[in-house]
Amino acid sequence: MAKPLKVDEVWLERIAGLLDDMEFGSLQIVVHEGQIVQMERTERKRFENGNARYSGETGSRRTDTRPARRG
């Protein structure tokens, strides 16, 4: 039988902190034996069509603005 997940105020604050300034992305929470053991944040940056202007504060910047080749 699965153990119930234990999420206290500390974990809720950690989760909220990782989601706080995320504009586009995902947060993966890994649970082992009813306890959170790992969190992975993947953030995406969006750009306006045809414009190389950066639209975020953190993370990596894409410098190649050419459309992707389709094959």
Number of domains in the chain: 1
Chain mean pLDDT for the chain:
78
In Å, how far are 4, 29, 39, 44 from 12, measured between CA atoms?
A: 16, 12, 12, 23
What was the pLDDT predicted at 18? Answer: 94
What was the pLDDT predicted at 27? Answer: 96
Task: Classify residue 20: in a domain, yes or no.
Answer: yes
Range of the structural domain that residue 26 is part of: 9-44
**Quick one: average pLDDT of 33-56?**
80
Task: Classify residue 2: in a domain, yes or no.
Answer: no
Task: Classify residue 26: in a domain, yes or no.
Answer: yes
Task: Classify residue 65: in a domain, yes or no.
Answer: no
